[in-house]
Chains A and B, each alone.
Chain A
Amino acid sequence: MTHLSSAGAAGIYHYDETDRRFLADRVEQFRRQVARRLSGALTEDEFKPIRLMNGLYLQLHAYMLRIAVPYGVLSSDQMRGLAAIGRRYDRGYGHFTTRQNLQFNWIKLVDVPQILADLAAIDMHAIQTSGNCIRNVTTDQFAGAVADEIVDPRVYAEILRQWSTLHPEFSFLPRKFKIAITGSDHDRAAIAIHDIGIRARRGAGGAVGFEILVGGGLGRSPFLGRRLADWVPEPDLLAYLEAILRIYNQYGRRDNIYKARIKILVHEVGVDRLREQIAAEFERIRGPHYRLDAGIVDAIRSHFAPPPFATLPAVSTALDQARREDPAFARWARSNLTPHQQPGYAAVTLSLKPTGGIPGDATSDQMEAVAALADRYSFGEIRVSHEQNLVLAHVRQDDLPALWRDLGPHGLDTANAGLVGDIISCPGLDYCALANARSIPLAQEISRRFADLDRQHRIGELKIKMSGCINACGHHHVGHIGILGVDKHGVETYQITIGGDATETAALGQVVGPAVGYDRVTDVVESLIALYLERRTDGERFIDTVARIGVGPFKEKVYGAAA
């Protein structure tokens, strides 16, 4: 069994022998399950949920394997391992998703047991990346690094990862179940659109507790999460979640797949009544059996100790000088850096959205390049963001000019994080069996239309999110501009919304007007942005202008006064 090299000094949850034995057991279990399927002992109906619980879908062209990147954190060795799998079993590339996971698109069922063994060798797996179970827990891509952090959410994300892994009671829920956690007031984990959203906070004396939202979710019936609890003390976290899941498992609808998510239960029962039921269950089960002991939290927290930062001045003269001397570098530094907790460091977003590229796709070569850069500049650690970019979380500001130069040859230096070109897009009809319309080529076209990065910077923060069907993997409901592909009598057609927001000020977008054809979408986006530029006041972002003047003027701009 391969063990991770000690080169990476960043705080990462490293597997121990027990974790590895679990994974080895699991790989062998799936090897036998695949053999049973191939021999005919399992029907497709019986095998499907089993393969889905191992992240294996049958898509348009082949099987798709979705690999869990727990809360979006990877070591450089893991990234190299993923690159190798992409090269050996796939077509030399993968797709990073809005769930911080990685998907390979050209997988053969017969190869999957060996792929899972290769993944286990780098302490990774595809467990619960699909199926009606608790999915990979997601969090802030800047966890443990960002200056505005109150609690490091990785500690609790890892606890939830362990707790939810092959949970005996909650592996056959009415529907999938997604949990996201943030530890900052600024929500970069989109907790309001998850089945459970958790905001870690500090109370009196620094004690950690959690605000819990429930029933967020997009898809056919989008809802923002409702507040279920203001403060769940740390020792009660698992008991409280068990109580929510038990109520959901028993009372969530199973008669209609479109009404089976917990958001529908919240909607139909009402959050107040549900809160009472959950509180009653919680009171019954809280106690030693479900208590999250401080010792466990401490043990897991020790995995996420800060890397060995150097003591540096808060301001880097090398960074300042490079900014002054090179406008292209200055532009990149303006959009792709995030302030760090540690003086003299920065968190860096590596855009997977090159102009005209496929959002979230990375080749095996790029993955290896990022791994090498992570080793050189960021303690051997990489993050995947829900916005489908990669992050080096702990880079010395002095090293930023060199890092930027090293990113260029690999196409990873696009200065567009958070801007028009940084489009979230699901795979859409080009890959996905559920899709109704293509999304990738539209994202490419929009990104080409706004290829001028200075223009993108002048426009400022603008999040375009696009889905190829109502399932909303591309989070279109919470895009500043949201684009939803629908199939209208065999023709790809797109519905456009504005004013959506996935952060702490979460909002669902409003429809601008009638859906438009494929060829008109980019023009519509450009019109919406033109109106924003005409009407914005100083410092106003696109969604601020939408909030101030409403959808009407935008509608008129796109459809004319008569509309």
Chain B
Amino acid sequence: MALLLKDGLPVEDPWISLDDAVEAIPDGPVIVSLDRWRRDRAVLVARNSPVGVRLKSSQRTGEIAPDLDRVALVALEFPKFRDGRAFSTARELRERYGYTGEIRAVGHTLPDQYQFLIRTGFSTVAVPDGANLATWQHALTEIGVAYQAGVAGDTPLSLLRRKVHLAAAPHPQGD
């Protein structure tokens, strides 16, 4: 089981992540692997419920790009937190393809990566059930300055240094 975080807070997760081995597709929003999407696309699209697609860290945006208007969520896997490919994948989805749906981080991530996730375009993070939510929430406000353009609400690179506001809550030292 995993908890879903949005803006640093746990939120209801309406999505069911479907294992490839499970043949039956339940009602409601489901997340399937890219392979499953390719195999069962007709069925999935005909359901009239939102579909999400899960990409492995080795799968690139180009593989899902033509279908993005039919996909309400893209889940990007972190097999281990050191595998940082999904940071680029998320950013490409936003900047290159203008994707506006939910981008979800699944797998092994650390609170210390939360700001990076948001700033490269992730919307939500699935964290393990036992995760320390206070640490995750705090991680969003830990660093109040960023030196480079990001995806989340950042203006063009008119200054190398900008202040970041990632969480709904104002920065504790905000100004």
Contact = CB atoms under 8 A, between A and B. Distances in A.
A28 interface: yes
B41 interface: no
Interface string B153-175: 00011111101000000000100
B142 to A, nearest CB: 5
Contacts of B82: 49, 132, 172
B138 to A, nearest CB: 8
A341 interface: no
Interface of B: 60, 81-85, 87-89, 91-92, 95-96, 110, 112-113, 115-117, 119-120, 132, 135, 138, 142-150, 156-161, 163, 173
Interface string A110-141: 00000000000000000000001000000000
Given A25-B143, A285-B95, A250 B161 contact: no
A18 B83 contact: no
A22 B115 CA distance: 14
B87 A249 contact: yes
A288 B156 contact: yes
Contacts of A249: 84-85, 87-88
Interface in A160-200: 162-163, 165-173
Given A46-B81, A172-B84, A166 B157 contact: no
A169 B160 contact: no
A290 B149 contact: yes
A240 to B, nearest CB: 14
B99 to A, nearest CB: 15
A21 interface: yes
A172 B87 contact: yes
5 contacts: A49-B81, A169-B116, A238-B157, A250-B88, A291-B157
A433 interface: no
Given A168-B116, A168-B119, 14 more contacts: A18-B163, A22-B145, A25-B142, A25-B145, A32-B138, A49-B81, A49-B82, A166-B143, A172-B83, A173-B84, A249-B87, A289-B149, A291-B157, A300-B160
A109 to B, nearest CB: 17
Interface centre among A159, A166, A288, A293 (most CB of B within 10 A): A166
A246 interface: yes
A207 to B, nearest CB: 19
Contacts of B142: 25, 28-29, 32
A498 B85 CA distance: 40
A163 B144 contact: no
Given A25-B144, A166-B146, A289-B149, A171 B161 contact: no
Given A18-B161, A22-B145, A163-B148, A246 B110 contact: no
Nearest to B160: A162
A289 B158 CA distance: 8
A169 B143 contact: no
Nearest to B108: A46
B8 to A, nearest CB: 15
Contacts of A166: 115-116, 143, 146-147
B160 A163 contact: yes
A50 B143 contact: no
A244 to B, nearest CB: 12
B158 A293 contact: yes
B144 A21 contact: yes
Contacts of B161: 18-19, 22, 162
Chain A: interface secondary structure? helix
Interface in A234-258: 238, 246, 249-250, 254
Interface string A14-31: 000011011001101100
A162 to B, nearest CB: 4
Contacts of A291: 156-157
Interface in A509-539: none
B145 to A, nearest CB: 4
A250 B157 contact: no
Interface in A16-67: 18-19, 21-22, 25-26, 28-29, 32-33, 36, 41, 46, 49-50
A548 interface: no
Contacts of A162: 147-148, 160-161
Nearest to B172: A25
Contacts of A168: 87, 115-117, 119-120, 146, 148, 150
Contact of A18 (B84, B96, B112, B145): B145
A506 interface: no
A292 interface: yes
B69 to A, nearest CB: 20
Contacts of A46: 81, 110
A36 B83 CA distance: 22
Contact of B88 (A29, A50, A169): A169
A169 B157 contact: no
A296 interface: yes
B83 A167 contact: no
A25 B166 CA distance: 15
A320 to B, nearest CB: 46
Contacts of A489: none
A284 interface: yes
B76 to A, nearest CB: 12
Given A41-B132, A293-B157, A169 B120 contact: yes
Contacts of B92: 246
Contact of A33 (B112, B115, B143): B112
Interface centre among A168, A254, A289, A295 (most CB of B within 10 A): A168
Given A25-B142, A29-B142, A50-B112, A159 B83 contact: no
Contact of A288 (B60, B157, B159): B157
B159 A21 contact: no
Contacts of B160: 159, 162-163, 296, 300
B20 to A, nearest CB: 23
A372 to B, nearest CB: 33
Interface centre among B110, B157, B158 (most CB of A within 10 A): B157
Contacts of B173: 21
A292 B81 CA distance: 31
